[in-house]
Amino acid sequence: MESYGKINIFISQSETGSQAMLEYVFTQIFCEWYGREINVFSDTSLISTAHIVYCDSPSLCNSCSALTVYRHHNIDEEISQLGKWNELPVFFESKEAYNSFDIPFDIFQAVFLLISRREEYPSLNRNLSFDKHGRYDYKQSLAYRLDFLDRPLVDEWLTEFEKAFNSKIQGISLVPKNNQHLITIDVDNIYAIKNKGIVKTLLSLAIAKIKGRESDLKLRLAVLFRKKEDPFFNICEIAVKLPRESVMFFHCGGYGKNDKKTLFPSLKYWKAKQRIDKMINVGLHPSYRSAHSLALLKFEKWILEKCLGRKVTSTRMHYLLFNFPKTAHTLMNIGITDDYSLAYSDIPGYRASTARSFKFFDCEKNCATNLTLHPLIVMDKTLRSNLNMSPDQAVIYLKKLKEQCEKSNVPLTMLFHNQNLSEIDGWGEWNKVFDSVL
């Protein structure tokens, strides 16, 4: 049937823009996101068969029945302000293109620029700044500087592109894939009270006693005497509530200032991980230290694989320590195919301006890869600690984010921590935030 045919894309011969980059972005958009096949060519004698004409010449657009897309010449051009197309902010546009092209800005290079994250590569950008954990400072990003970090701009563009395509092209159409919202859980600490070692345990009891914290003391004693479950050991109850496609990431590293707060793992924890692996998806949460040590990272992956009895192929970096392109190289090196770290820790939003998953393009080697990056949009800790939201405000905020994503037919990926779904450290009420997204 014609509507399942290939999309023919004519691209003008040009010195600019890399072939690998264009191939990648066409494949990502049309094949991966829309599930269509494509046929890309530059032979002008075949231009009448094209569904999309991608060029810089208005004369080629005249009397063209294809959807015409303006081709911009310099992807490295400094972008200091935005234009407007169909009420959406755009760049890589040309004033003249508004009169002659259906899509007057270079949507393909613009999508590439935003999802490739080339602006985060130290080798391609001088004087980048990083925070105390070595993470890219989001304030340098184009999305933050030009005020669109809070919207899935790539997805909004594609919704408009889809409409333009479907209304101009007969017999073939672009239909977005169905996307479900995704809940993910990071398990950093499995014990709040137990398995801390004798010194720390006695010290905590003494502090609770001296400071007159009666309920804290009671809870600690009840847990230590096995009358009550440790408040952080809530992972099975969480997993039972989650939809099948959810992902839980387990920290498998050792004790450390920025790592786990437990000295010894327990057999019970080992078995809980195996049980959860049968209910939902499970991935590795590489420790803070392993982000800087390949040997340690391999060891942690091996531990989780031993426990689950299968290969582990998904990760989310602890502290969202994901640096382009270094972390991607490391993860591919150890056989990871899916990573869920793409977010900024201090602010919610769309780090790659999309909520859709996409393949990592290596801007240093100039090639597409098989590593899928799953953008994370919002994390519990950011809402409470950085935005100072109350649980009620967070419920409303998440509802709005969901609606924003549904408008563009894209999934909202959220992150909760098991320890923040327990009753301690003032997180008690945040359970209702979690329940609101189930």
Interface ranges with Zn ion (CB under 5 A): 186, 188, 318
DSSP secondary structure code for residue 227 in this structure: S
* Strand-pair partners of 225: none
Buried b (16+ CB within 10 A) or exposed e, 163-201: ebbeeebeebbbebeebebbbbbbbbbbbbbbbbeeeee
C-alpha distances (whole Å) from 61 to each of 56, 97, 166, 191 are 9, 10, 18, 65
Q: Which is nearer to Zn ion, 185 or 433 (CB)?
A: 185
Query: Could you give the CA distance from residue 354 to residue 358 in angstroms, rounded to a whole number?
Result: 9
Smallest separation (angstroms) from Zn ion to the CB of 316: 8
Smallest separation (angstroms) from Zn ion to the CB of 285: 6
Question: What is the amino acid identity at position 414?
Answer: M
Closest-approach residue to Zn ion (CB): 318
* Strand-pair partners of 88: 85
Question: Quick check: 76 and 113 in contact, CB under 8 A?
Answer: no
- The neighbour count for residue 399, using CB atoms within 10 Å, is 12
Q: Which two tokens stand for residue 400?
A: 């709005």
Smallest separation (angstroms) from Zn ion to the CB of 249: 8
Q: Which is nearer to Zn ion, 186 or 380 (CB)?
A: 186
Q: Which is nearer to Zn ion, 102 or 186 (CB)?
A: 186
Q: Which is nearer to Zn ion, 93 or 338 (CB)?
A: 338
Smallest separation (angstroms) from Zn ion to the CB of 339: 14
Q: Which is nearer to Zn ion, 330 or 404 (CB)?
A: 330
Q: Which two tokens stand for residue 27?
A: 């494949």
How many alpha carbons fall within 13 Å on the CB side of residue 140? 16
DSSP secondary structure code for residue 255 in this structure: B
What is residue 282's three-state secondary structure? Answer: strand
Q: Which is nearer to Zn ion, 287 or 404 (CB)?
A: 287
What is residue 64's three-state secondary structure? Answer: coil
How many alpha carbons fall within 13 Å on the CB side of residue 1? 5
Smallest separation (angstroms) from Zn ion to the CB of 232: 13
Smallest separation (angstroms) from Zn ion to the CB of 305: 19
Smallest separation (angstroms) from Zn ion to the CB of 186: 4
Smallest separation (angstroms) from Zn ion to the CB of 188: 4
Question: Quick check: 155 and 115 in contact, CB under 8 A?
Answer: no
Q: Which is nearer to Zn ion, 119 or 188 (CB)?
A: 188
What is residue 80's three-state secondary structure? Answer: coil
Smallest separation (angstroms) from Zn ion to the CB of 420: 11
Question: Quick check: 283 and 248 in contact, CB under 8 A?
Answer: yes
Question: Quick check: 19 and 62 in contact, CB under 8 A?
Answer: no
Q: Which is nearer to Zn ion, 179 or 323 (CB)?
A: 323
Q: Which is nearer to Zn ion, 120 or 186 (CB)?
A: 186
Query: Could you give the CA distance from residue 420 to residue 423 in angstroms, rounded to a whole number?
Result: 8
Q: Which is nearer to Zn ion, 280 or 320 (CB)?
A: 320
Query: Could you give the CA distance from residue 354 to residue 356 in angstroms, rounded to a whole number?
Result: 5
Smallest separation (angstroms) from Zn ion to the CB of 144: 23
Question: What is the amino acid identity at position 168?
Answer: K
What is residue 52's three-state secondary structure? Answer: strand
